[in-house]
Amino acid sequence: MVKLKNDTFDVEDWNSEYAKRYLVSTILQSLFLVLGFCGNMMVIVIYTTRMKSKNDDRYFIPFLAGVDLLGCLVSTTLILLNNNLPYKYPNSAICKSLNVMACGLIVASVFLLLVISVQRYQKICRPFGFQMTLHLKRKVVALVFTLAITFAFPTIFLTEKIEVLHPVTNITGYRCGPVPNTEQIGETHLGILITAELTSVICMSILYGFVAYTLVTKLKPSRKINKTEIVSRTTHFEITSNDTKTTRVTDNTTKMDDFDSNEWDHTNIDAKKGKTRSGKHYSMMFMSISLVSILCLLPPWVFVLLETKNKAFWNNLTYQETQGYVIIRGLFVLNFVVNPIIYGYFDSKFRNNVAQIFASIFN
């Protein structure tokens, strides 16, 4: 606590004191803002202009990148305002709008990842079963955003600019916080949000567990089809079949023998192998994105529960503890920042397009 100097200590000093405590968090969030904006903008531009295709695996990527872009902008703005103006918050409109948007975008991100996990399960574990059509995908995306708005909407009535009194002096500050006398409703709403997100995470984990099992045990590289195998199979059929069928199959075998290396086309086989590899890559990519998302969201959930149980949680921390906890509390923003890096690692076409863009800029 800064030493009070009687009449010289005012709300500016109080605000500055806590803004300094949050300095490391402010620097990190500023870095997240720049990286998240540039990375997600690049993902949106490349996937919607340079990589337009009927590739079913990439359908949800622009939507997820759009959520990540907005989530990064809104969440970092919310945290930076809280860090720099902890006791001089501008007004309730900004407080309400940023909180409701941040909440909605986190929910939308989690639900979109859940939808993607369902799609990966269908494609990898049930390739001949029901698959999402383009029409259904559009409906599902609309449903995700509708649910996100529904879950986030109550936040408008639960947060606002509130008065905060200095514990020693008569100074009054203003911060963005829960509306007085709505604690019970706020805790109920928070419980619903965390339950929905945790349920989505558990479902994702189960679905990707099946996907991982299938990738490891069932989608093994196909054997190379050669002429010997074909002749062997027809010979076996020759022995166990009647004369009429034997003649027909022998003729077929002769025809297959006539297909020498110049005529035997492996295009379809190579295409199937390429499609299988692509499916594996995209499954691994989305599994990595979901895992990172879960790891980024866990710390905020823990702190939210701590704050709910102890209203004075932040008031009893030392300077060093405040620094560390504020940084961890804001790590959920990484959920909106790291995905472009994951896309670049797993998607070679996206990586090549990024390289071309940078080459054109610097050449």
Encoded tokens for 216: 């490891």
Assess if residue 133 is contained within a domain: yes
Which of the four pLDDT bands, split at 50, 70 and 90, describes residue 55?
low
Q: What's the number of domains the chain is made of?
A: 1
Assess if residue 72 is contained within a domain: yes
Assess if residue 314 is contained within a domain: yes
Assess if residue 164 is contained within a domain: yes
Residue pair 74/117 in contact by the 8 Å Cβ criterion: no
Round the average pLDDT of the chain to a whole number and report it.
Answer: 81
**DSSP one-letter code for 170:** S
* pLDDT at residue 261 is higher than 50: no
Amino acid 354: pLDDT: 87
Candidate from 125-129, 179-183, 302-306 with smallest mean pLDDT: 302-306
What pLDDT digit, counting tens, does each position of 268-278 carry? Answer: 444 444 445 55
CA distance 277 to 226: 21
Amino acid 160: pLDDT: 93
* pLDDT at residue 217 is higher than 50: yes
* pLDDT at residue 263 is higher than 80: no
- Can you give the CATH number for the domain in which 91 is found? 1.20.1070.10
Cα torsion 179, 184, 185, 191: sign: positive
Amino acid 241: pLDDT: 43
* pLDDT at residue 281 is higher than 90: no
Top-confidence residue, 266 or 285: 285
Amino acid 54: pLDDT: 58
Domain that holds residue 273: 6-220+266-362
Q: Is the overall model pTM greater than 0.75, yes or no?
A: yes
Residue pair 162/174 in contact by the 8 Å Cβ criterion: yes
Assess if residue 55 is contained within a domain: yes
**Cα R_g (the chain), whole angstroms:** 29
* pLDDT at residue 77 is higher than 90: yes
Amino acid 238: pLDDT: 40
Which of the four pLDDT bands, split at 50, 70 and 90, describes residue 53?
low
Which of the four pLDDT bands, split at 50, 70 and 90, describes residue 231?
very low
Assess if residue 238 is contained within a domain: no
CA distance 339 to 244: 62
Amino acid 265: pLDDT: 47
CA distance 107 to 197: 7
Largest CA distance in the chain: 112
Assess if residue 240 is contained within a domain: no
What pLDDT digit, counting tens, does each position of 307-320 carry? Answer: 777 766 776 777 78
Amino acid 253: pLDDT: 43
